[in-house]
Amino acid sequence: MENKQPISKESLLELANHIMKEHDDYLAGMLVTDVTEKAGVLVFKGEYFLDEQGLPTAKTTAVFNVYKGLAHALSPQYTLE
């Protein structure tokens, strides 16, 4: 059985914004602004660097990879309070 540590949304956002800077795909300006939890998986949200038409850019893929990395790293350890 999983034993996850409860954490506040604010604390988790602070932690995520700190550790994502170590990710290989991190780009200056990336910022996690929200997190939700679905079926035990933390879902991080923030700027996706879309173009003027709202379409993905090369940076969008990097953002997705960083947010996915955060989910993989933090979901087994934490659950939102």
Residue 32: phi and psi, rounded to 5, are -85, 125
The class of domain 5-80 in CATH terms is alpha beta
Q: Read off the pTM.
A: 0.89
pLDDT value of residue 47: 87
Tell me if 31 sits within 8 A of 20, measured CB to CB.
no
Q: Tell me the β-bridge partners of 43.
A: 36
Domain assignments of the chain as residue spans, ordered by start = 5-80
pLDDT digit string, tens, across residues 15-44: 999 999 999 999 998 999 999 999 999 999
